[in-house]
C-alpha cells in the first residue's frame, strides 16, 4: 500500500515538472527594443516583440535575437584618393538601427559588417569625385551621400542608416605643410587688403573733413562779409541822416538875421585861419601888397557873405 502511495506521488511530481517545463518553453518575455525571430520546423514563423509571447514547445524555436536600438558603429580608417590625386586617411562613425528583424536575420549573414563595409566603399567613391579643397568644405554633402547609398542597399537587409559623420580627414604631411603655407599667404593677403582699405578710408575721411571745414569757413566768411556790409550800409545811412539833419538845422538858422551874422563871422574866421596856414606852410607867398593885410582878408570875406545874401542863398527853403 505504501508503495502505491509513493508511486502515485512520484507520478504527480513528474507530471508537474513536465508541465512546468512545457510552460517555461512556451512562455517568452521579450524585453523592450528587442525582437525574437521564431522558426517552426526550421522555417520562419513569426517575430515576437516586447511583452508576453507564446510558442509551441518542441515545434517552435527562437532562431535570432535582434536589438532594435540605435547602434553607433565605428567605421575604421581607410585611404581614399581625391579627384586631384591626393591620398587621404578618412574615418567616421555610423548610426543605424534595425527596422525589419526578419530581413536583418535572413537577408544578410551580418548586417553590421555589411553596413560598415558599404560605408567604407561609399566614402572612397564619394571622395574620388571631388578635389581636396572640396573635401574639407563639403563634409555635410559627403555624409548625406553615404547615408543615401547605405539606405538603398540596407532596404534588403531591414536596416536604416540614420546619419553618418566623418570624424577625421588626414592628408599627407607634405600636403599639410603646403596648406599651411597657403593659409598663411591668404591671411597675409587679407591683412594687406584690410590695411589698404583702412588707409583709403582714412584718406577719404580726411579729405571730406577738410572739404567740410573749407565749406564752413567760406560760409562763415561770407556771413561775416554780409554782416560787415550791412553794418557799413547802416552806418552810412546813419551818418547821412545826421548830416542831413545838421544841414537842415544850419539852413534854418542861417535864414535868420542872427544866423547870417554867425555865418559871416564863421566864414571870416575860417578865411583868416586859411591865410595863416598858407603863410606858415609856404616860405614864399606871392600876393598883392594891398591884400596881405588882415583887414583886407576880413573885408573880402564880408563881401562874399554879402554876395550870398543878395543871391538868396540864405533864404528860407
Answer yes or no: is pLDDT of 273 > 60: yes
Angstrom CA distances, 213 to 6, 207, 219, 220, 224, stand at: 127, 10, 10, 10, 16
Answer yes or no: is pLDDT of 158 > 50: yes
Answer yes or no: is pLDDT of 236 > 90: no
Using pLDDT thresholds of 50, 70 and 90, give the confidence band for residue 316: very low
Answer yes or no: is pLDDT of 146 > 60: yes
Mean pLDDT taken over the chain = 79
Better pLDDT: 59 or 175: 59
The average pLDDT across 269-276 equals 70
Better pLDDT: 275 or 77: 77
The average pLDDT across 118-141 equals 86
**pLDDT per residue as tens digits for the range 183-217:** 788 888 888 888 888 888 888 888 888 888 888 88
Q: Give the integer Cα–Cα distance in Å for 305 and 288.
A: 22
User: Which set of grid coordinates corresponds to residue 151?
Assistant: 539606405
DSSP codes, 20-79: HHHHHHHEEEEPTTEEEEEEETTEEEEEE-SEEEE--TTTEEEEEEEE-S-EEEEEEEEE
**Ranges of each domain in the chain:** 2-67, 71-171, 173-254, 256-317
The domain over range 71-171 is classified in CATH as 3.30.479.30: yes
Better pLDDT: 184 or 253: 184
Lowest mean pLDDT, pick from 75-89, 97-111, 264-278:
264-278
**pLDDT per residue as tens digits for the range 9-35:** 676 677 677 667 776 677 888 889 899
Answer yes or no: is pLDDT of 254 > 70: no
Answer yes or no: is pLDDT of 161 > 70: yes
Q: Given this model, what pLDDT does residue 37 score? A: 92
Q: Given this model, what pLDDT does residue 174 score? A: 76
Q: Given this model, what pLDDT does residue 293 score? A: 52
The average pLDDT across 170-193 equals 80
Three-point CA angle 119, 124, 126, nearest 5°: 90
The average pLDDT across 165-173 equals 83
> Three-class SS of residue 110?
coil
Using pLDDT thresholds of 50, 70 and 90, give the confidence band for residue 87: confident
Amino acid at each position: 500500500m505504501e508503495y502505491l502511495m509513493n508511486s502515485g506521488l512520484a507520478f504527480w511530481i513528474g507530471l508537474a515538472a513536465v508541465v512546468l517545463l512545457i510552460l517555461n518553453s512556451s512562455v517568452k518575455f521579450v524585453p523592450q527594443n528587442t525582437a525574437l525571430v521564431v522558426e517552426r520546423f526550421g522555417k520562419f514563423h513569426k517575430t515576437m516583440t516586447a511583452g508576453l509571447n507564446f510558442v509551441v514547445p518542441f515545434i517552435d524555436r527562437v532562431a535570432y535575437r535582434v536589438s532594435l536600438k540605435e547602434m553607433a558603429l565605428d567605421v575604421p580608417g581607410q585611404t581614399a584618393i581625391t579627384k586631384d590625386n591626393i591620398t587621404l586617411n578618412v574615418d567616421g562613425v555610423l548610426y543605424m538601427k534595425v527596422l525589419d528583424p526578419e530581413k536583418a536575420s535572413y537577408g544578410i549573414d551580418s548586417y553590421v559588417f555589411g553596413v560598415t563595409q558599404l560605408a567604407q566603399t561609399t566614402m572612397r567613391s564619394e571622395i574620388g569625385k571631388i578635389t581636396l579643397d572640396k573635401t574639407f568644405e563639403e563634409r555635410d554633402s559627403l555624409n548625406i551621400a553615404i547615408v543615401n547609398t547605405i539606405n538603398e542597399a540596407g532596404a534588403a537587409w531591414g536596416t536604416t542608416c540614420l546619419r553618418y559623420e566623418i570624424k577625421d580627414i588626414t592628408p599627407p604631411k607634405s600636403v599639410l605643410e603646403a596648406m599651411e603655407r597657403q593659409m598663411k599667404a591668404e591671411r597675409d593677403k587679407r591683412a594687406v587688403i584690410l590695411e589698404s582699405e583702412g588707409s583709403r578710408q582714412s584718406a577719404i575721411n580726411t579729405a571730406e573733413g577738410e572739404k567740410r571745414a573749407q565749406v564752413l569757413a567760406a560760409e562763415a566768411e561770407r556771413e561775416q562779409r554780409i554782416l560787415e556790409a550791412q553794418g557799413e550800409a547802416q552806418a552810412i545811412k546813419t551818418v547821412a541822416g545826421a548830416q542831413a539833419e545838421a544841414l537842415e538845422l544850419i539852413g534854418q538858422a542861417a535864414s535868420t538875421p542872427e544866423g547870417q551874422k554867425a555865418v559871416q563871422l564863421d566864414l571870416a574866421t575860417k578865411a583868416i585861419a586859411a591865410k595863416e596856414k598858407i603863410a606858415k606852410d609856404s616860405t614864399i607867398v606871392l600876393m598883392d601888397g594891398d591884400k596881405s593885410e588882415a583887414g583886407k582878408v576880413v573885408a573880402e570875406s564880408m563881401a562874399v557873405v554879402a554876395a550870398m545874401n543878395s543871391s538868396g542863398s540864405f533864404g528860407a527853403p
